[in-house]
Chains A and B, each alone.
Chain A
Amino acid sequence: MSQRIGLQSALCVLLASLSCVAGHAATLRVLVENTKGAALADSVVYLTPVVPIAPTASLHAKIDQQHKTFVPRVSVVQVGTAISFPNSDNIRHSIYSFSPAKIFDLKLYSGTPSTPVVFDKTGVVVLGCNIHDQMIAWVLVINTPYTLRTDAEGMATLANLPAGDYVLRAWHEPMSEEAPGEPLHLEAAATATHTLRLDAEAQPAPMAGMAP
């Protein structure tokens, strides 16, 4: 925190001709569409500062198993988050992922607590169950607290953003990898607008169990 303020103060000194007030937040409005131009509701928009900042949210999350379904279907967590899999079903599950960002497998026996899994790399993690092959979930592991889901019109407005340099991305199921990032610079007290196109199909309705 103090490093960031120090950097901004240094910039103020260097750019003395501009009125440089540290902390005047920027706003970014993002529209997410698929390649056919259709709005993608419930896509994850995330804005990663070029200079990484320490995670601000809780580093614990939960993905339950209910009626042979992962709940929530999509989780967005910061790097280093420990995710627990409580298995509310009475039957066992055998979950796994082959995604490079987190390769693991874990048996979940009803009534037996299992060890949380730490997601220590950024990227898209797809989860399945060996026993119930319809079960699927995604974990998007990101390195920023600045993230929102798009609304029914494919729009997300990120507010209270510090001015600076970022990389903007969006994700929508069933993308198995992150999109290439779009670099952008946000000016203090300004509103910027950006459109992202993803190679993903628009879902007919928000999926049950998505985290807010």
Chain B
Amino acid sequence: MKQVGLVGGAMAAMRLGLAMGFALGLCGSPTGIEAQTADSLYARIGGQPVIDAIAADTIDQVAADPHLNQSFEGTNLKRIKRLLAEQICDLTGGPCHYSGDTMHQVHAGHHISEAEFYGLVQIMRNAMLAHHVALRERNELLALLAPMKRDVVEGAAPLPPGGG
């Protein structure tokens, strides 16, 4: 039951984020084409220190959660945190170029479930809250991550558009 609540809550957050993303014309910009200005999502989140902290907190908490951490067994967490931060920086218009593998390559064979995907989303949302990222920016970031679901979750259908 807690699992369902978690999934439901994270899905709602993603749908809202996706809706805002569509409204703001952000979806479909996987390489972070916004100029690196004070208006970029990267800057509004708080730049690299906040992104690094969000990435580190997210991975630490996922790796400590027995419902979510199966695929992290034996992995180099420091490296994952570095690449996740790099990916978020790149996606949000920061001065990074994501150098890791594609989400499909990274997650192939790990049998990630929908519950695990949304579990990570919820943890990341909480990490953003803990680092005082405002609602608008939280939802914009979640909107950027939502399209990854089909590449992360095994046998996943893409996230339905959050128009409703």
Contact = CB atoms under 8 A, between A and B. Distances in A.
Contacts of A131: 75-76, 79
Interface stretch (A9-17, A26-34, A86-94, A142-150): A86-94
A110 B109 contact: yes
A90 B76 contact: no
Given A130-B79, A131-B79, A92 B105 contact: yes
> Chain A: interface secondary structure?
loop
Interface string A112-139: 0000000000000000001111110000
> Chain B: interface secondary structure?
loop
Contacts of B110: 90-91
Contacts of A107: 101
B33 interface: no
Contacts of B75: 131-133
Interface in A33-84: 68
Contacts of B76: 130-133
Contact of B108 (A110, A130, A135): A110
Interface residues of B, number: 12
A90 B74 contact: no
B35 interface: no
Contacts of B71: 91
A92 B79 contact: no
A90 B109 contact: yes
A17 to B, nearest CB: 66
B106 interface: yes
A200 B75 CA distance: 27
Nearest to B71: A91
Nearest to A128: B76
A166 interface: no
B74 A92 contact: no
A109 interface: yes
Interface string B67-89: 00001011110010000000000
Contacts of A92: 101, 105-106, 108-109
A134 B76 CA distance: 8
21 contacts: A68-B74, A89-B109, A90-B108, A90-B109, A91-B71, A91-B108, A91-B110, A92-B105, A92-B106, A92-B108, A92-B109, A109-B108, A130-B79, A131-B75, A131-B79, A132-B74, A132-B75, A132-B76, A133-B75, A133-B76, A135-B74
Given A109-B108, A130-B79, 4 more contacts: A68-B73, A92-B101, A130-B76, A131-B79
